[in-house]
């Protein structure tokens, strides 16, 4: 599994957990809602942590207009800087976007990266472009919500080689665990839902998404 950093303290904690547990890997970066405290010097600690053998991604980073803890003007420089680190290190850039799809896409296009993971994929209107650019689309618990019709309709169209499943724990627990604190084991429910929507067996999708994770994260 990958445990995600959202700032310096949590990124360092993620790396410490990865050191402690063989099955845990880490991503390091600054979440857009925390970008108000971004300084150019943050690039240094992110680059330092990115050299660790168990770090397999940069982020999560991106744009978030739902929360009001940072402005778009504060988020964009942090996003671009982390994209440049991903480009330099060859690590995947893990994207968070909420109510900011268009601006997120503008920056991603400018970065020109192919190794991008659209975490908690929620922008089905950009599925075709993401597929063309070789980006990975990671599906979380909301796909199990019956009213999330646009995402549920999009899931069968994601190329098999660009599909992941995730929990986003402790948030967004899938049906039938909705309303509970999410945990990594609950990814099985999301996997089962995605398999049903795609008309494939759980075992087949398990093999495919596991192989995709092996390739994208390089573990």
45 and 83 in a common domain: yes
pLDDT digits (tens), the chain, 219 positions: 999 999 999 999 999 999 999 999 999 999 999 999 999 999 999 999 999 999 999 999 999 999 999 999 999 999 999 999 999 999 999 999 999 999 999 999 999 999 999 999 999 999 999 999 999 999 999 999 999 999 999 999 999 999 999 999 999 999 999 999 999 999 999 999 999 999 999 999 999 999 999 999 999
Q: Are residues 97 and 124 in the same domain?
A: no
Domain that holds residue 80: 1-101
Residue 49 lies in a domain: yes
Has residue 108 been placed in a domain?
no
Q: Are residues 48 and 130 both part of a single domain?
A: no
Is residue 112 a part of any domain in this protein? no
Q: Tell me how far CA of residue 207 lies from CA of 123, 147, 167, 201, in angstroms.
A: 25, 28, 17, 10
Residues 216 and 140 in one domain: yes
Q: What angle do CA 42, 47, 49 make, to 5 degrees?
A: 100
* Tens digit of each residue's pLDDT (9 = 90 or more) over 163-172: 999 999 999 9
**Domains of the chain: total:** 2
Tell whether 109 is covered by a domain: no
Q: What is the CATH number of the domain that holds 30?
A: 3.20.20.140
**Phi/psi of residue 209, nearest 5 degrees:** -70, -30
């Amino acid at each position: 599994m990958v445990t995600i950093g959202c700032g310096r303290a949590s990124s360092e904690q993620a790396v410490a957990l990865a050191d402690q547990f063989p099955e845990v890997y880490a991503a390091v970066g600054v979440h857009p809602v925390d970008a108000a405290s971004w300084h150019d010097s943050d690039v240094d600690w992110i680059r330092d942590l990115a050299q660790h053998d168990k770090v397999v991604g940069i982020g999560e980073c991106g744009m978030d207009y739902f929360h009001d803890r940072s402005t778009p003007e504060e988020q964009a420089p942090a996003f671009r800087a982390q994209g440049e680190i991903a480009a330099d290190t060859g690590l995947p850039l893990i994207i968070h976007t909420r109510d900011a799809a268009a601006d997120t896409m503008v920056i991603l296009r400018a970065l020109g990266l192919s190794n991008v993971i659209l975490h908690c994929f929620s922008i089905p209107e950009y599925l075709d472009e993401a597929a063309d650019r070789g980006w990975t689309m990671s599906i979380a618990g909301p796909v199990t919500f019956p009213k999330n019709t646009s995402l549920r309709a999009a899931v069968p169209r994601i190329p098999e080689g660009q599909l992941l499943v995730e929990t986003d724990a402790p948030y967004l627990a899938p049906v039938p665990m909705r309303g509970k604190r999410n945990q990594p084991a609950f990814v099985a429910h999301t996997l089962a839902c995605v398999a049903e929507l795609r008309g494939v067996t759980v075992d087949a999708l398990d093999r495919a998404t596991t192989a995709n994770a092996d390739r994208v994260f390089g573990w």
